[in-house]
Amino acid sequence: MDWFGAADGGPMVATRAIHFAATAIVTGTLVFQAVVANPALRSQEAAAKPFRTQTRYVAWISLAVAVISGLAWVLLLTMSLSDESLGEAITSGALRDVLNLTQFGSVSQIRLALAILLAFCLAFERSAFWRWLGLGAAVGLIASIAWTGHAASTPHKLGYLHLGADVLHLTAAAAWIGGLVPLALLLGAGKHHQGRAGLELDVVRRFSALGIASVATLILSGIINAWILVGSFHALVITGYGQLLMLKLAVFAAMLAFAAINRLSLMPRLALPSADTQQDALRGLSRNTLIEIGFGLFLFAVVGVLGTLHPAAHLVQ
């Protein structure tokens, strides 16, 4: 089974995966700044300045990748629907029709407007108003992906439930997985500075609370989505969609295992008085965070494939 589209649709799968990852990282970075970093760094200006510079670069690069991959997504879908080359799809009016006559096109235009607004907010982020507006734009950018997938085609009242669950699922994934990137930056800096374990402990505690809320939301919304898209254990086992979903769940479980190690084993060691113990804990947290990021990027690749497959519930009666 060609899950990752090597034989057909590979560019679409890759584009979707890159777009999801980039959008999640820019959103997660801004959530991390608002909920974790800014409260923890309020009295740590020496540590805050380089961290803010680094996360500013991460946000800008991620936003640029999200915009480019989003435009590529529109073009690839247009070429697929019209069965034309890139140049033909643009000159024949097929691109105009996709943008103006389809829900995907309308949502894509709204999402481009949100990305432009977010760029303005990042440019003026020293103002609290623009920071909070940017956070709202970023959340809207990730949440609106729900209207480009299976949830947008679920009919009647069930469709509203599906869309709501998908919005929560996307936002929670961005807050947790996307937030791992700025967390890794901060922990990596802490490994090279003695006497900052108190700051890192505060950051890890705050991120752990954010992660628990995000994971709870992911589990609840994931159950709803699976109920709608898979429908039965039989469909989960015998269909390609279901089997890929089980792979996604296995990777998610591995991420939870590393998160549990961080919270239950490594985080308490940051509170111990020994500087060597603190540095060992920081190195372990940094290593595990990088592993979680790797798992998270793989999850985005899986999601990129799932969106191109027929849901299991449509294939098994």
**pLDDT tens, the chain, 317 aa long:** 444 443 457 899 999 999 999 999 999 999 999 999 988 888 776 667 888 889 999 999 999 999 999 999 999 999 999 999 989 988 999 999 999 999 999 999 999 999 999 999 999 988 889 999 999 999 999 999 999 988 888 888 898 999 999 999 999 999 999 999 999 998 876 555 554 657 888 899 999 999 999 999 999 999 999 999 998 888 889 999 999 999 999 999 999 999 999 999 999 888 887 888 888 888 999 999 999 999 999 999 999 999 889 887 777 66
Contact 24, 174 (CB under 8 A): yes
5 belongs to a structural domain:
no
For 57, the enclosing helix (H) or strand (E) is helix 45-82
Q: Give the range of the structural domain holding residue 237, as residue numbers without chain letter.
A: 10-315
2 belongs to a structural domain:
no
3 belongs to a structural domain:
no
Q: For residue 198, what pLDDT is reported?
A: 75
288 belongs to a structural domain:
yes
4 belongs to a structural domain:
no
Q: For residue 123, what pLDDT is reported?
A: 94
Q: For residue 42, what pLDDT is reported?
A: 81
Number of folded domains in the chain?
Answer: 1
Q: For residue 76, what pLDDT is reported?
A: 94
Contacts of 19 (CB under 8 A, 6+ apart): 65, 66, 69, 70, 72, 73
Per DSSP, the chain holds a count of helices (H) and strands (E) of: 15, 0
Q: For residue 6, what pLDDT is reported?
A: 37
Q: For residue 4, what pLDDT is reported?
A: 45
Handedness of CA 217, 256, 180, 10 (dihedral sign): negative
Q: What is the pTM of this model?
A: 0.92
225 belongs to a structural domain:
yes
C-alpha 17/C-alpha 11 separation (Å) is 10
